Structure 1
């Protein structure tokens, strides 16, 4: 038994996850009823990640800022620019593809009790209120905007604290990071449980009638992940971007696909940034911030489903309105994490741009919930893996600018 565990630990985490994935699929297809109790492993894994992520973000950000030395360079400005650019371009790509492959919908009921935000101002108001949220409540509700705000303020006020205090905070940060390592080691079992739950609960039959819509949605997300993002990275660092792109998709995208939670994937992304040798002062802030505002997948979802409603109703759309939709979807996507229901509940807001009634728009949201098992998985995988990709890109760009040699092939 000891030798088996030793050999298992020698296998890379990605291969371990792949093994768990394959076993989960086999069990769910062959003996679904017997395998159902195993789904508790998936719930425990996601629960553990969600539980530790807010505490991790608070201590990492607070420690990084408290120990930051004056004059020390950071590249947060570049990271935020990449986040916003990537989200806008994702929305724009979704609009273009939706016109190339127009999709009609069979509208559905079933979400009448859900309330969507009334406008962009309401979304932005929600974000601002999250900033001034009670710190204990922010941690309890995993409100990362609020957690970041408090961590930054505490870090700034502790800059003049004694070395003993700073050491204590740093020790807490290291301890939480170590706990994250323990949780991530359980990923293969967690992914196995999540796969079994997904297949036994949802099946594949319910998705077949929405094949064309899923093709456009997933196609757009793959286009952003494999074409648009690599182009952005290449322009920034002038090197082949694909080793880094594939590393981020493999080590961040796979777990995000199954957990379907950017918040739960924050510890995974932190660990990947550490493996890539990135500056802890930067990624401890950029990763939780990316889980809030870097929402390329959400921009795709909002644009595609909104234009699907437009095509279903036979509404004519001109180019300026389509461009406005791209901007609106990017703004809404950045606020998606502050709204219950995520990107889907921002669809009525985008539909209002074309005069589509709320009751019809909410039927489109119903379609979104039906295909959510795949839509949300791909969306989260794109969002979360891009957080690491753009954080790494900004740092490598700064290193190259300073005259240092950076070889992505060796790093990734």
Structure 2
């Protein structure tokens, strides 16, 4: 049966695509080797440098974020290399699995999935590695499965304090363009991202931001690579072109997205996401439920993962809420499967959209019979009123 009105896509990505970007994507495809394409490609490549806040290299691949994970690993490392990986959640664990599959030797610092990476643990392990066997430290900036943020600038300080030469590799697939990220200032060597989160695009583009140190290192590593090779990109990218067929229409959309982010102002974008995250957590507390991220200061402005009481099915709650209120919420992944649901509040999103989302969640809790207190949406509204610009 048809449900009237707008469907609320409140998963933590893909995020809803604004009309401006849809219209840009809908332009006619042009010859990707012709003279008109150069401006499209150069605008996208230079524009992404402004989003990563870097003067170094940015590469754009036609792929999901998983492809960008692989591109980062195969360009920066050799078979058998040891990498120190901090497991903050499901996606950090998936990156570890990939590292193992392609012949690397991941060493994992585990956690309870309720906070970001601990720089002190990273520093302590690197201090023990006196032979510098560890070639890279891999950390997820915004863990999409848990709603926890890792302090990347503090991780860099930890690596430096240990006097260790390891590369700092960061997954900011769901953090970039929603949370502050400063590639150059924070001393990141490789950052991975994707198009379908804060950049407000459909899936299909992924990114590697790469430091000069990592580019130099890529000349001597021996991991097999072809499609993902950074050095094959450098020459064509210099004039706005690519070594193979690019996603031309998604690049149209990317250029529109970059323009929209700068029209609002990146600092305002980050503040908006932080404010919506705080309002959502106020709602969760008023419902008497727990936010999965328990470490104060690590909570995400991109999404909020909510723990349901023992014995309650998060998947059944989500199904009930979808059926009755036409709202899609994110599911729990791997070891928090059916225990949590995730509210996405990222991308092209405003106060009224958040209030509609939280009202739908609150009605869904009641409809599904989940024990809770009423008034969460009201608590969020009070927070928004008190913090309005």
**TM-score normalised per structure 2:** 0.26
Q: Which has the higher contact order (CA 8 A, sep 6+)?
A: 1
Q: Give the structure with the larger strand fraction.
A: 2
**TM-score normalised per structure 1:** 0.25
Q: Give the structure with the larger helix fraction.
A: 1
